[in-house]
Amino acid sequence: MNSSFNKFLIFKKWIVILMICFFSTNFLYIPSVSALSDSRQFVLDAWTLVNEGYYDPERLDDIQWKRIRQKTLQKQIETSEEAFSAIEEMLRPLEDPFTRILRPKDYELLKTSNFGSEINGVGLQLGEDEMTKKIKVISTLAGSPAEEAGIISGDLVDKVDGISTSDLGLANTASKLRGESGTKVLVQITSMSDEIKEIDLERRSVDLRPVRTKRLRDDSHTIGYLRITQFSESVPKKIEEALEELKDKEVEGVILDLRNNSGGLVSSGIAVADSFLSEKPIVETKDRNGVKDAIISQKKTYFDGPMVTLVNKGTASASEILAGSLQDNGRSTLIGEQTYGKGLIQSLKSLGEDSGIAITVASYLTPKGNNIQGRGIIPDKILDFPEAREYGNSEDKWVKNAEIYLNSLFDKNEVEETSIKTLNKDNDH
């Protein structure tokens, strides 16, 4: 019996030793597991942000979003680059070019363009054609290498440094076009007339100067010209200051130029609309729960006189929110071309310390309930003659056309005022 008991004790001792070894091995292995799981956690964080914020939950169900998570996490994901690639692959079934991962360089650049005053690159604002899925030019930044090379809205970007943009996708195409000042990039473009050309562009620092203003004078009237090149954080304040300055110069009306303004911060575009509208609906947003939220302007305005707004096919996103609110409220006549048609709103989320993810979180409707996604806004007056190379200069026929239109409004108002005065005078007698 003692022998059996001793054997039991020895057996028990070995079990304890084996358990200690097992758990010790696992404790020693934990750091390695953690190191591997960092990249996987990065991917999972991205999946969760999209799962909780994407504006169209039905689309997530259609592509079996939960199954995509499972399949993605089964892949080898040990490095940051593997994590970025896994997220790109995970997002592809959404077929939403605006929901995208932003690597450190792109994330920093996007923040700079939204909050800063200059950007390094060639000055192309890109989008994806809804029908063909090809990468096309929304607009070019004023004074940029792309603008100087004659690239215009509607041109297709086929290749960047010999790599097909259909393989790169929207985000990677935009990323390859950016870089240090002085470096060059070869871009293959197909124009709207199907002309294929290769253009060697040298990257440089482009001054965004989002708000540009001047006074236009003729023999009888004074008009303020106000151009917004993009909607960064500083724009609403700059617009308020510009409008105050123009009022001090006693302008009778304003030409608001939104040509080739591809958007930026939606909140900035809404704030600018608030400067022109008094207690009027600016935009209606629709979130993932189908909840419609109407944004109404404040009572105070910074300018309430006559105005004309210039738009073209490079007018997109936040610019279309502004243009649509002015048109639907009868606040401004829209002149130019049909706009781009981006009616989706993205939210920028941080991923880790230096990267991010842009997620489409809502769609928007104009005050009259028009959905412009893929359709754009049709101006009140179509202009079919060529635009000037430099917007707002003395040769800009679109601005001249806007001036003529405003002058006709002034003259009409003067006639009406004269008629009212005459009628009142007759009634006094």
Q: Which residues are catalytic?
A: 317, 328, 342
Helix H or strand E encompassing 199: strand 196-202
Could you give the C-alpha distances from 100 to 49, 94, 358, 406, in angstroms and in order?
12, 10, 5, 43
- Rounded CA-CA distance 314/150 in Å is 14
SS3 314: coil
Locate 223 and state its tokens.
Answer: 């008009």
- Rounded CA-CA distance 37/364 in Å is 38
- Rounded CA-CA distance 286/366 in Å is 11
SS3 305: coil
Assess contact for 283 and 367: CB atoms under 8 A.
yes
Neighbours of 213 (CB within 10 A): 20
Locate 11 and state its tokens.
Answer: 């057996």
SS3 224: strand
Closest CA to 340 of 371, 374, 364: 374
Torsion, Cα 105 107 112 113, to 10 degrees, reads 110
- Beta-bridge partners for 377: none
Could you give the C-alpha distances from 422 to 408, 409, 411, 418, 428, in angstroms and in order?
21, 20, 16, 6, 10
